[in-house]
A = this chain, B = another copy of it.
Amino acid sequence: FSCSKQVATSQLFRLWAEPRLNYFSSTGSSMMRQHSIALLRAALQHPCISHTCSVSVPGRFLSTQAGREEYHAKWQRIAWSLAAVTGVSLGAGCLSAGAESSNREAVFTKGDVSKHQTPEQRVWVTYKDGVYDITDFVEMHPGGSSFIMMAAGGAVDPFWQMYQQHLKDEVRTLLQPYRIGRLADYKGPEKKDPAEDPWKDEPSRHPALMPRSNNPCNAETPGSIVAANLITSNDIFYVRNHLPVPPEPEDPAKWQLSIGGEEARSVSLTLEDLKTKFKKTTISATVECAGNRRNEMKAVKPVRGLDWDTGAIGNANWGGVKLRDVLLHAGVDPDVCDSMDGPKHVHFLGADSDPLTGDVYAASIPIELAMASNKDVLLAYEMNGEPLSRDHGAPLRVVVPGVVGARSVKWVTQIITSREESDSHWQQHDYKSFSPSVDWDTVDWSSAPAIQEAPVTSAITEPSANTQVEQGTTTIPVRGYAWSGGGRDVVRVDVSADGGATWQETQLHKVPGQKPGRAWAWTLWEAEVTLPTPPANSKGPHQVCLICKATDASYNTQPDSVAGVWNLRGVVNNAWHRVGISVGH
């Protein structure tokens, strides 16, 4: 097997191959990945790839021979097809001359399109009957250039069916400027085999949840009820899924959690083991999506991501075992954090997998957090006294208190200690924030750390935006939530009804029993707020802007403007929350 002759230049090949390798290196078990990349590199016999990843194959975690072979076979197939496509695309010349003109628009065949798979060839894709040259868009793709490059030379339609957040006008509008022609003989969408539909087994959801995307399911708690209670009911707790919900274990008794990695024994634990061999701990902890309140960022300048309002947050009593105890059980040295060359991160791998690649959702946290006896990182099997529901990670999920939701991996099945941070897409190319002046064409994902602890935030949940109150109303009740990461308690929430000229303190409601420095649960707050006197000559309704801001135990407080914390991914928006109401209608 050799494809090296077909690769015209190493530079050209690297342009094509690297995004794909980066994609491979950002998904799947890191052990499997390294193993498979070594295979892939061997298959391609090409030295230019070597700097993209390390080659060590600590096979310790490949716990069964069958597992090893299955992964081996899968990645070998990918390596072969990659090599084959390389040969095809590089052997086909540069720009297609086969375009025909019709309706003042060029017409291309699928064969024409397939010749455009690299930046050198220009990157073409089709969507329905349209042909698009997206070369200049590739690096700006919110999901990462490597993902979009999977569609190079072909149709994006199946990917969009998979990642249905694309199926909206906003995305179609974004694509429009890149249109260069239409596809000859377009026959409409291919008929899908219902049995192949990766979304066919999604659980049903409470109708009160407000969907932000359907497949994967992303839905938030309505603002009007999100802060109604210190504990959020399971059924209306926001759902943030990145992939299809995995099927329930066929035989729950056989379900296993694997623990292993650097300086750890390989251990498998059943749910029964977790429940009987370790001390049960219950903590009240808030989980918030890093993208909560993204819609306010969109009002400043477009960002990419789900259009969350204030409801991608909730608080629950999580029951489970401490991650620290499980890691100690797996032989991790209690003083591992003092070691200069020990593992520095703990990876969590979910059972939710990408229907196209088989790669699973993954993230990692610093080992200091995982091992700290006072950080309360949990492997939770209960949510508010009930077994986890499918949407919330059944049978086991991670809950990392004080940290953005992306690290609280649901459906966790593997835990791996490692010197390296997770190289998953969600750790390396998502859930990071940048300076407001960094855009998709200038972003260097490696320049910012993965978000872990969340900043202090708050939101007004009552009244809702555009509420109309009677003329002559002098005070109104205002309520909401406040929360800060790292266990830093909220010490004060101020409300203003005059644009921040004056502030009124609010009454705070706390989950009882939180320990000092371990305030994992949010604070609810309320105040009867005095409205400003309307102008003397005012006849019609006048507008009042309500603002809230919280201060936490480190005396960090929220920034005034969304513009100052705007970032291309629309995450960690913790600016003063503003709600406009109308008085006298």
Q: Is A456 an interface residue (CB 8 A)?
A: yes
Main secondary structure of the interface of A (DSSP, over half): loop
A563 at the interface (CB under 8 A from B): yes
Complex alpha-carbon distance, A435 and B496, angstroms: 11
Shortest CB-to-CB span from A257 to chain B, Å, is 26
Contact indicator B557/A560 (Cβ below 8 Å): no
Q: Chain B nearest CB: distance from A333 CB in Å?
A: 14
Whether a CB of chain B sits under 8 angstroms from the CB of A517 is yes
| Chain A 528-563 interface mask (CB, 8 Å, partner B; 1/0) | 000000000000000000000101011111111101
**Known pairs A368-B374, A494-B435, A502-B437; A454 contacts B558 (CB<8 A):** no
Contact partner, A435, options B433, B436, B503, B560, Cβ 8 Å: B503
Indicate if the CB atoms of A504 and B455 lie closer than 8 Å: no
A410 sits at the interface (CB 8 A): no
Segment at the B interface, from A27-35, A82-90, A170-178, A445-453: A445-453
Q: Check B554–A453 contact: CB distance below 8 A.
A: yes
Residues of B within 8 A of A366 (CB): 516-517
A580 is an interface residue with CB less than 8 A from chain B: no
- Chain B minimum-CB-distance residue to A337: B374
Assess whether A144 is interfacial by the CB under 8 Å rule.
no
Whose C-beta in chain B lies nearest to the C-beta of A455? B556
- Which of B435, B494, B554, B560 meets A454, CB within 8 Å? B554
- Which of chain A's residues 326-363 have a Cβ closer than 8 Å to chain B? 337, 344
CB of A492 within 8 Å of the partner chain:
yes
CA distance A516 to B491 in the complex (A): 26
Asked if A500 contacts B454 (CB within 8 A), the reply is no
CB of A451 within 8 A of CB of B555, answer yes
Q: Is A572 an interface residue (CB 8 A)?
A: yes
**Nearest Cβ in chain B — how far from A352, in angstroms?**
26
> For the complex, is A564 an interface residue (Cβ under 8 Å from B)?
yes
A565 in contact (CB, < 8 A): yes
Classify chain A: how many residues form its interface, as a range.
35 or more
Q: Which residues of B contact A491 (CB under 8 A)?
A: 448-449
Q: Which residue of B lies closest to A502 (CB)?
A: B437
Minimum CB–CB distance for A63 against chain B, Å: 29
Q: Which of A337, A436, A564 gathers the greatest number of chain B CB atoms within 10 Å?
A: A564
Question: What is the CA–CA distance of A437 and B549 in the complex, to the nearest angstrom?
Answer: 13
What sequence of 0s and 1s flags, for each residue 302-328 of chain A, a beta carbon within 8 Å of any chain B beta carbon?
A: 000000000000000000000000000
With A554-B453, A556-B456 in contact, do A563 and B500 touch (Cβ < 8 Å)? Answer: yes
Q: A430-472 interface mask toward B, CB cutoff 8 Å, 1 = contact, 0 = none?
A: 0001111110000000001101111110000000000000000
B-side contacts of A553, CB under 8 Å: 449, 452-453
Q: How many angstroms between the C-alpha atoms of A369 and B572 in the bound complex? A: 27
Tell me the complex Cα distance, A488–B369, Å.
13
A516 to B344, CA, bound (A): 9
Q: Given the complex, which residues of B lie within 8 Å of A494, measured CB to CB?
A: 435-437
Complex CA gap A369/B437 in Å reads 38
- Known contacts: A491-B448, A517-B366, A572-B555. The answer to whether A504 contacts B437 by CB under 8 A is yes
A262 lies within 8 A of chain B by Cβ: no
Query: What's the Cα separation between A579 and B108 when bound, in Å?
Result: 58
A139 contacts partner chain B, Cβ-Cβ < 8 Å: no
Q: Which residue of B lies closest to A566 (CB)?
A: B503
Q: Is the CB of B555 within 8 A of A436?
A: no
* Minimum distance in angstroms from A336 CB to a CB of chain B: 12
For residue A401, CB closer than 8 A to chain B, the reply is no
A486: interface (CB < 8 Å): yes
Contact B563 A455 (CB under 8 A): no
Shortest beta-carbon distance from A38 to chain B in Å: 29
Report 12 cross-chain contacts, Cβ distance below 8 Å, ordered by A residue: A368-B517, A433-B551, A433-B555, A437-B494, A437-B502, A449-B491, A455-B556, A455-B557, A486-B486, A486-B488, A500-B564, A557-B565
Residues of A within 8 A of B (CB): 337, 344, 366, 368-369, 372, 374, 433-438, 448-449, 451-456, 485-486, 488, 491-492, 494, 500, 502-505, 516-517, 549, 551, 553-561, 563-565, 572, 574, 576
A453-B553, A455-B554, A556-B574 provided; 9 other pairs, C-beta below 8 A?
A344-B516, A369-B517, A433-B551, A449-B491, A449-B553, A453-B488, A453-B554, A486-B486, A500-B563
